[in-house]
Amino acid sequence: MDWAAFFTLHDDSPRGGPSDGDSLDWALALAGVPADGAICDAGCGPGADIAALLAHVPRGRVEAVDLHPHHAERATARFADERRARVRQGDMGALTGPFDLIWSAGALHFLGVTEGLSRWRAALAPGGAVAFSEACWFTATPSARARAFWDREYPRITDAAGIAAQVQAAGYAILGQRPLSDAAWEGYFQPMERQIATLRPGASAAIADVLAAAEDEIATWRACRAEYGYLLTVARPR
């Protein structure tokens, strides 16, 4: 991928993937994060969820980690004056903790569900939990269009039972699961569409390719939203 072209599209995007406040609130309530708790935002992107995470721990703290320097720089700038938030560029597979919750919005797939959860176990405080969203089939018979998209983007996509099996293989018990809402997806896609419209006139070949791929992602989800989405899972080590 041409990362310069990718970040040209995503530079001003408010978030790095689908999520919303209702989903975050549900997950943190289910996990029982204390008001003085410590939360890690693993794969934080530009930092879209940090403020909401801080609101759940008014006497606690949030550490946010992202591998891409560009994302870490944006999140750092957004929370430079927030003493309870620390943002760093680094490997989310090497967290130290201890954390009462590890929150990962659409990023755990970079490690693999079972592998990532296994690594994160040692970074959790006693009674700590993980909340993560993962691409998920909502049908046993996806259309050719949906299948072709995910064969390119993430061939390991599975269904809710498959995600549950991966969680259990890491030695975790599932506290709850629910799909992200359409609003969570539109909150990600609509700002992207505005940026696409801004960038299209005079776009270089590399940027044009990135714009076309983004438009295909948006159109495919809108056409096939009943077939797939993100499943939000909250789990705790057994």
Q: pLDDT confidence of 225, banded at 50, 70, 90?
A: very high
For 132, the token pair is: 């993560």
Give the model's pLDDT for residue 16.
84
Whether 3 has a pLDDT exceeding 90, the answer reads no
The answer as to whether 80 is a domain residue is yes
Q: Residue 62's pLDDT is what?
A: 99
Task: Name which of 37, 41, 44, 38 is nearest 17 in CA terms.
Answer: 44
Residue 21 within a domain: yes
pLDDT of 11? 75
Give dist(CA 98, CA 34) in Å, integer. 14
pLDDT surpassing 80 at residue 2: no
Residues 187-218 have pLDDT tens digits of: 999 999 999 999 999 889 999 999 999 999 99
Is residue 158 situated within a structural domain?
Answer: yes
In this structure, the number of other CB atoms found within 10 A of the CB of residue 140 comes to 6
Q: Quick: pLDDT tens for 45-66.
A: 999 999 999 999 999 999 999 9
Q: How many domains does the chain have?
A: 1
Q: Is the pLDDT assigned to residue 12 strictly greater than 80? A: no
Q: Domain for residue 148, yes or no?
A: yes
Q: Does residue 216 sit within a domain?
A: no
- Per-residue pLDDT at 137 exceeds 90: yes
Buried b (16+ CB within 10 A) or exposed e, 36-71: ebbbbbbbbbbbbbbebbbebbeebbbbbbbebebb
pLDDT tens, 157-169? 999 999 999 999 9
DSSP string, 135-157: EEES-SS--HHHHHHHHHH-TT-
User: Residue 30: which CATH number?
Assistant: 3.40.50.150
- Higher pLDDT: 162 or 68? It is 162
Using alpha carbons only, give the angle 174, 175, 177 rounded to the nearest 5 degrees: 80
Q: Which pLDDT band, with edges at 50, 70 and 90, does 1 fall under? A: low
Q: Which of 46, 43, 44 is nearest to 9 (CA)?
A: 46
Q: What is the pTM of this model?
A: 0.94
177 vs 132: CA distance, rounded Å? 10
Kindly state whether residue 75 falls inside one of the protein's structural domains: yes
- Helix%, strand%, coil% for the chain, nearest 5: 45, 25, 30
Domain hosting 70: range is: 17-181+226-237
For the chain, what is the mean pLDDT?
Answer: 95
Q: Is 205 a member of any domain? A: no
Average pLDDT for 81-108: 96
Q: How large is the average pLDDT for residues 133-156? A: 97
In a domain, 192, yes or no: no
Distance CA 188, CA 210 (A): 16
Q: What is the pLDDT of residue 8?
A: 84
